[in-house]
Amino acid sequence: MKKWAFSILLLLSFSIAGCVALQGKSGSEILPSRLSWLQEEPIAAIAASRLTCDTHPEIVDGNLETAGIFEVSGGVRKSLTVVQGEGHLLGKNQYVTALDGTIRCEIFIKLEEPMYVSTVEVYPGSRIPNMALSTALDESERHFGESGTGFKPVHDKQYEDVEGTKPVRFQVERELLYLRVTADAIEDRRDVTRYDNSIGNEVIDIPLKGASIREVKLYGRQPLYSKTKK
């Protein structure tokens, strides 16, 4: 009986102390403490069902057996050309490389709603040259980013070559709605075409192919009152 009474008195003491601490505080003063509490929510994997990728759904389906390949537009042409030397030096033959199209490829991933993302794991399916991540927080930034200026870069491991198939982890540590993954295309040396041009010099056409990604996983804090997919 004495222990039960002591427990009741202890609970009342804590309740009174809490009321006294909040007495006289405005809502704007109480809110930061609640936000601080929310920020202490544990980092967890964001479910694949909360991610979409219109062009490459395989990289957010939660299945490491499927893979998405960057879409490529263009190729590389190498032409044997006589390059004149300086002064009285005779010219010499060398290959001049020209790019037809663009070597940079990109994939956009959208979250169900803005969320704080701590880290991103990319599971390669092939070599990925010059991979980089960037983010946007709303639609206006995303469309602005299509011109190459709206997305904010993730500086961790920016433009690094990825070799092998082990997952690569990027430190993001920001709130975002869109994640953009970019990489360079790869020269397809197995499908090279050689021929002579109109003046008899050799031309080499090398098609470009996209790198492969098996999965992209995001880890972060999900909103307390978040929307659910139907």
State the residue range of the domain holding 206.
44-75+101-221
The answer to whether residue 18 is domain-embedded is no
Tens of pLDDT along 89-139? 555 677 788 888 889 999 999 999 999 999 999 999 999 999 999 999 987
The answer to whether residue 28 is domain-embedded is no
Is 203 in contact with 196 (CB distance < 8 Å)? yes
Q: What pTM value is reported for the model?
A: 0.72
The answer to whether residue 210 is domain-embedded is yes
Instruction: Tokens 């690094």: give the residue.
Output: 160
The answer to whether residue 226 is domain-embedded is no
DSSP result, the chain: -HHHHHHHHHHHHHHHHHHHHHTT--HHHHHHHHHHHHHTSPPEEPPGGGEE-SS-GGGGSS-TT--EE---EEEEEEEEEEEPPSTTPPPEEEEEEEEEEESEEEEEEEEEEEEEEEEEEEEESS-EEEEEEEEESSHHHHHHHTTTSSSEEE-TTTTEEE-SSS-EEEEEEEEEEEEEEEEE-EE-GGG-EEEE-TTS-EEEEEEEE--EEEEEEEEEE--SS-----
The answer to whether residue 93 is domain-embedded is no
The answer to whether residue 172 is domain-embedded is yes
Instruction: Tokens 């509490």: give the residue.
Output: 37
Tens of pLDDT along 47-83? 999 999 999 999 999 999 999 999 998 888 888 776 6
- Looking at residue 92, its pLDDT comes to 67
For residue 229, pLDDT over 60 is answered with no
Residue-averaged pLDDT of the chain: 80
- Looking at residue 37, its pLDDT comes to 44
Query: Encoding tokens for residue 70?
Result: 């960057």
Tens of pLDDT along 215-227? 999 999 877 655 5
- Looking at residue 1, its pLDDT comes to 47
Residue 87 is given by DSSP the state: T
For residue 22, pLDDT over 50 is answered with no
Q: How many domains does the chain contain in total?
A: 1
Residue 151 sits in a domain whose CATH number is 2.60.120.260
- Looking at residue 172, its pLDDT comes to 97
- Looking at residue 10, its pLDDT comes to 47
